[in-house]
Structure 1
Amino acid sequence: MRQVGWIAGTAAAVLVAAGAVTYAVADGDDSTATPTADSADAGFARDMAVHHQQAVEMSFIVRDRTKNEEVRRLAFDIAQTQANQRGMLLGWLDLWELPKVSSDPPMTWMDMGGMADGKDGALMPGMATNTELRKLQKLSGKQAEIFYLQLMTDHHKGGIHMAEGCVTRCTVKVEKDIAQGMVNAQESEIELMTDMLKERGAKPRS
């Protein structure tokens, strides 16, 4: 219980920083030139917004499929954090006056365009397929908890890969800082979810 609260506190700190970042970009405090539509900064914002949306969706599904307070609390924390971060990412695109969708395949900004074929709805690394989402909707209790924790662990691993890509490739310093914050928070959540899976006699899928 205490560890979930600590992670939630960390996520809240990231969001406070994100709010400050949004105002800084809006006020022109960042010295970096406005990113272009094909930049890593814009690509990360677009793709991570989509990636986050699925995490929110999965978290709301499991909250309705289990009564376990620990899992429900974790799901709420993830949904709240990633919904707010998604709004921040889309807000940056608005501030930069850049499109929220691109004709390029996802992950093009990481030189991975086309590697994820989008089969069954899995557009980017770690994303669950439509079939897996339907399965989660049908499970309940312990089975739903295990499958959610496994799906979210995969999802976080993909998200960390993307965020690390922004840390390396993005040019807007404040965006790089927020991406690093995502890496740190999601690595902590993976550790927690691994422990929660072990308590349920299961383990991550990969």
Structure 2
Amino acid sequence: MSARQAWWEGSRTRWAAVTAVVLALLFAGAATVASARDGAAPERPVTPAADSVEAGFARDMAVHHQQAVEMSFLVRDLTDDEEIRRLAYDIANTQANQRGMLLGWLDLWGLPKVAMDREPMGWMGMPSHGASAPGAPMPGMASRAQLAELRASKGRQAEIGYLRLMTAHHKGGVHMARGCAEKCATPVERELAQGMVDAQESEIALMAELLRKRGVRG
């Protein structure tokens, strides 16, 4: 990723994080006011703990999304195909904004964005080992070798490499998002996770079609 792209993505993520915090605060305030109007004592919102499903999902999916953004920026510089470039832009834009929301929630909850003492995917009750490519920390994530191979490719080869890597990446993301959709107690995070499942499954089908157009099976 170029310095300009890195700056642009970082700025987008910071603004998205700020927006997520502001919206969360407004939502909490509105809920408190509505409760007071109904005559009931306002309930204090429950803050997820550092070892909660909510925090684990936010941390892990933020890392997962970051790689999708990186791969999408890479392929936009490696091909002139407008269909692929448009898909890459949509994925980068969507996942950068979602990443900002996830990091914003961690800020709101006063929780660390990195937990070195916690195993990735531990919040799902499963280890990450053996669930992804060698050298990749979570399901679907590309290894350093795979990213290097993508960087070294061009044109049709880059398009096929990106579609294959992103399909695997999305499948891993769907697996993680389903875990939060089933286990997260925070409604807004659970709804975001289900939205990820729906959107990424649709993109998986689209990428399979783009691979078929290139004479390749997904």
TM-score, shorter chain, exceeding 0.5 = yes
Q: Equivalent residue for 1:115?
A: 129
Q: Equivalent residue for 2:73?
A: 60
1:93 equivalenced with 2:106 (yes/no): yes
Structure 1 counterpart of 2:126, one-letter code: M
Question: How far does residue 172 in structure 1 lie from its aligned partner after superposition?
Answer: 0.1
How many pairs does the alignment contain?
A: 187
Q: Equivalent residue for 2:56?
A: 43
Query: Are 1:104 and 1:113, in contact at CA under 8 Å, matched by a contact in 2?
Result: no
Identity rate, percent: 59
- Alignment CA distance shift 1:26-1:76 (3 Å): same
Paired residue secondary structure (2:51): coil
Query: Are 1:126 and 1:154, in contact at CA under 8 Å, matched by a contact in 2?
Result: yes
Question: How far does residue 121 in structure 1 lie from its aligned partner after superposition?
Answer: 3.6
Q: Equivalent residue for 1:82?
A: 95
Query: Are 1:170 and 1:176, in contact at CA under 8 Å, matched by a contact in 2?
Result: yes
Q: Equivalent residue for 2:85?
A: 72
Question: How far does residue 132 in structure 1 lie from its aligned partner after superposition?
Answer: 0.3
Q: Equivalent residue for 2:158?
A: 144
Q: Equivalent residue for 1:171?
A: 185
Q: Distance in 1 between matches of 2:89 and 2:23?
A: 28
Q: Equivalent residue for 2:25?
A: 26
Q: Distance in 2 between matches of 1:153 and 1:92?
A: 27
Deviations 1:68-100 (A, max 9, x none): 010001001101111111111000000000011
Q: Distance in 2 between matches of 1:140 and 1:168?
A: 40
Q: Distance in 1 between matches of 2:132 and 2:173?
A: 16
- Alignment CA distance shift 1:83-1:21 (3 Å): closer
Which runs of 5 or more residues in structure 1 are unaligned?
1-17
- Alignment CA distance shift 1:117-1:166 (3 Å): closer
- Alignment CA distance shift 1:157-1:114 (3 Å): closer
Structure of higher CA gyration radius: 2
Deviations 1:50-82 (A, max 9, x none): 000000010011111101010001001101111
Query: Are 2:64 and 2:141, in contact at CA under 8 Å, matched by a contact in 1?
Result: yes
Query: Are 1:163 and 1:183, in contact at CA under 8 Å, matched by a contact in 2?
Result: yes
Query: Are 1:116 and 1:123, in contact at CA under 8 Å, matched by a contact in 2?
Result: no
Query: Are 1:150 and 1:203, in contact at CA under 8 Å, matched by a contact in 2?
Result: no
Structure 2 counterpart of 1:44, one-letter code: F
Q: Equivalent residue for 1:202?
A: 216
Query: Are 1:35 and 1:41, in contact at CA under 8 Å, matched by a contact in 2?
Result: yes
Q: Distance in 1 between matches of 2:128 and 2:172?
A: 16
Q: Which has the higher contact order (CA 8 A, sep 6+)?
A: 1
- Alignment CA distance shift 1:175-1:22 (3 Å): farther
Q: Equivalent residue for 1:12?
A: none
- Alignment CA distance shift 1:141-1:187 (3 Å): same
Question: How far does residue 112 in structure 1 lie from its aligned partner after superposition?
Answer: 1.4
Query: Are 2:21 and 2:107, in contact at CA under 8 Å, matched by a contact in 1?
Result: no
Q: Equivalent residue for 2:176?
A: 162
